[in-house]
Chains A and B, each alone.
Chain A
Amino acid sequence: MKQSGTSALLQDAVLDMASSVASALRGGGHAPDDITTGGGPSGDLELAAARVLGADLVLPTVLCGIPPTADRLDLIRRTLEAFPPRPEAPPTVRWSHWALRRALRQADPSGSGSDERRPPEPDAAWLDGVPWPFLTHQLAVLASLALPGQDCAPARAARARTLDVARGFVRAVRRRDWLQAAGAGRWLTLLPDVPETLGLAAGLDFVELMGGDDPRVLLQVRAARLTGAGALV
């Protein structure tokens, strides 16, 4: 019971954080992003929620140019310290951590404790030749890496397999997996040669209509629209 209670609290904390970021992205980032300005989770719960959201914590900075708050940067630093990936961690965990390090470095290039160098990339061989449903699933989990002009091995893997990611988007929508669909859709806004018949723009609207009650979905859809519209990075 205790565990399920904790996990429900974590889920709520993640949704609150996602909701705050999604609000900041609305209309190009003119709304305040107030995750850490009172009312949010604190302590371990806050760190755990920040770990789940990962690099998307600084999306308003990356996509809309909104300067990050000191609290936000501090939260990211503490999250990175609290959850170093274990050697046996799955690739998505290692890449999420890498993405968060990169995000901190970009959001606060002169900040104390942030690496000056681009962090070394984890291994990306796990995506080589995988079937398109698995590829799309993994990319959707790593949707925080889908940023215009920011290269990394998963982004290169995605660029080489546009058709497969598009198929994965259709599959996710058909299966009502809105979070995966939104993540795949966000990647597709960056990929070359997306089939016109996919109807991506309407597809993202459909995902928002059907699954936008979940702030994590809303965040990805809004990020996709901004990247698709050529948001700054």
Chain B
Amino acid sequence: MTDTRLLHTVGVRAIEWLWAHRDGFRLEPDVDPEIGFLDRFKPVGELALVCKVLFREGVAGSRQAELARRLLDHVWRETLGGGSMLVRGQRTEPISPIPFETYLPFKELGYHQPEIERAAVLDHRLDSWCAFEVTPTRRLGLSAFQRRFGLRPRPPEHEALKATWLARTPEPWTVEGHIAYDVTHAVFHLTDWGENPGGLPPRLADYLAVWLPVWIDDWLDLRRWDLLGELLVVDACLPRPTLDERAWAGFAEAQRADGAMPAVREMPDIADPDELFDAVYHPTLVAAFASTLATSRALAGLTQAAS
């Protein structure tokens, strides 16, 4: 069992870095629509999801929570133009799920953009939405987001789950990087990003309890911090998290003093601030996510032990 202070500090530092580099959450309004105006929404949506976890778990210190709130206000106002950029994205690609996916966590946090909501309701009626070709894991995520929005998921989540890699509990020695990311995201969607660990079917929780330690050991030694962070999130979503001491020590050690988490091995040598942001924002967000959930589970364990 890892020292709770170490778990917590990783997240505190990560939020400090994200706040200091908040201008990196940027869209490219002038980009050719054919190239993809929507591509840059991903970091914004992920930030909102992780901040929601941070508020929900209630283990953040006052400064960390304050920075997270200001970060969200910043990206909603400055990056998304109060939601108007989501509308623009939706009008650029009406059937794309990206504006909806980005919007949902903001809505859950109290932000509001009526036109996106109307589009979400309309899309839900379209066969084209169901037929839209995405990976099985993302399809599971879209169904989960529809439920969270208040719609009846199409397809139902239990149907969407069947097509994922994880649902088939395949040979664990075949896992490589892409598969591992599919596994972590399937768990995120099934548990509503750690909010509801009971959403993970016992059969899958048992499978992960057996094999996750091997994958954590492997990607720790490979120093692939982004994926390791996501695997540590999965661990924190299990009925009995290991909060593996060696993995967390390595993960914390990889983090820079300013809170940035390299994706792989060391920090990249990049001078351009935007390029550097793009290279490390994701592992840093994941660090905040993993830290918050692991701290929460560690404290819950202490509470149970004391009662």
A: residues with CB less than 8 A from B are 132-133, 163, 166-167, 169-171, 173-175, 195, 197-199, 202-203, 206
Name the distance in Å between B208's Cβ and chain A's nearest Cβ: 10
- Closest chain B residue to A199, Cβ basis: B171
Task: Known A-B contacts: A174-B173, A195-B210. Give 18 more (CB < 8 A).
Answer: A132-B213, A133-B217, A163-B210, A167-B211, A169-B173, A170-B172, A170-B211, A170-B214, A173-B173, A174-B175, A174-B214, A197-B170, A198-B172, A199-B173, A202-B171, A203-B171, A203-B173, A206-B173
Find the residue from A163, A173, A197 having the highest chain B CB count within 10 A: A197
> Which 8 A-B pairs rank lowest in CB-CB distance, beginning with the nearest?
A199-B171, A173-B173, A170-B173, A170-B214, A167-B214, A197-B169, A170-B172, A174-B218
Question: Are B172 and A197 touching (Cβ within 8 A)?
Answer: yes
A206 to B170, CA, bound (A): 14
CA A175 to CA B213, docked complex, whole Å: 15
Cα distance, A210 to B171, chains bound together (Å): 16
Distance in angstroms from A132 CB to nearest chain B CB is: 8
B207 interface residue per 8 A CB criterion: yes
Measured between alpha carbons, how far is A171 from B175 in the docked complex, in Å?
Answer: 11
Q: Considering only CB atoms, which chain B residue lies closest to A207 in the complex? A: B173
**Separation of A174 and B218 alpha carbons in the complex (Å):** 8
Cross-chain pairs A/B with CB under 8 angstroms, 23 sampled: A132-B213, A166-B210, A167-B210, A167-B211, A167-B213, A167-B214, A169-B173, A170-B172, A170-B173, A170-B211, A171-B214, A171-B217, A174-B173, A197-B170, A197-B210, A198-B171, A198-B173, A199-B170, A199-B172, A199-B173, A202-B171, A203-B171, A203-B173
Interface string of B193-216 (1 = CB under 8 A from A): 000000000000001001101100
Inter-chain contacts of A174 with B (CB < 8 A) = 173, 175, 214, 218
Please give me the residue from chain B that is nearest to A181 by CB atom.
Answer: B173
Chain A residues with CB under 8 A of B218 = 171, 174-175
What class of interface size applies to chain B in its complex with A?
Answer: 10 to 19
Q: Which residue of A is nearest B173, CB measured?
A: A173
A20–B172 Cα gap in the complex (Å)? 32
| Main SS class of interface, A | helix
Closest Cβ of chain B: how far from A162's Cβ, in Å? 11
What is the interface of chain B, defined by CB distance below 8 A to chain A?
Answer: 169-173, 175, 207, 210-211, 213-214, 217-218
What distance in Å separates the Cβ of A134 from its nearest Cβ neighbour in chain B? 12
Alpha-carbon separation in the docked complex, A198 to B172 (Å): 6
Residue of B nearest to A167 (CB): B214
**Neighbouring B residues of A202 by C-beta, 8 Å:** 171
Q: How far is the CA of A132 from the CA of B213 in the complex (A)?
A: 10
Expressed in whole angstroms, the minimum distance between the Cβ of B167 and any Cβ of chain A is 12
Q: Which residue of A lies closest to B176 (CB)?
A: A174
Measured between beta carbons, the chain A residues less than 8 angstroms from B210 are 163, 166-167, 195, 197
Beta-carbon contact of A197 and B207 below 8 Å? yes
Q: Which residues of B contact A167 (CB under 8 A)?
A: 210-211, 213-214
Distance from B9 Cβ to chain A, minimum over Cβ atoms (Å): 26
- Which residues on the B side are within 8 Å of A170 (C-beta)? 172-173, 211, 214
Residues of B contacting A195 with CB < 8 Å? 210
Instruction: Tell me, rounded to whole Å, the shortest Cβ–Cβ distance linking A139 to chain B.
Output: 16
Contacts of A175 in B (CB 8 A): 218
B202 smallest CB distance to A (angstroms)? 14
Closest to A171 in B: B214
**CA separation between A198 and B171, bound complex, in Å?**
5
Chain A residue nearest to B203 in the complex (CB):
A197
Residues of A within 8 A of B214 (CB): 167, 170-171, 174
Q: How far is the CA of A170 from the CA of B212 in the complex (A)?
A: 11
User: A166 — which chain B residues lie within 8 A by C-beta?
Assistant: 210
Complex: chain B residue closest to A197, CB-CB: B169
Cβ distance A185 to chain B, nearest Cβ, rounded Å: 10
Is the pair B171, A197 in contact by a Cβ cutoff of 8 Å?
Answer: yes
Contacts of A197 in B (CB 8 A): 169-172, 207, 210-211
**Once the chains are docked, how many angstroms separate the CA of A218 from the CA of B213?**
28
Measured between beta carbons, the chain A residues less than 8 angstroms from B171 are 197-199, 202-203
Q: How far is the CA of A198 from the CA of B213 in the complex (A)?
A: 14
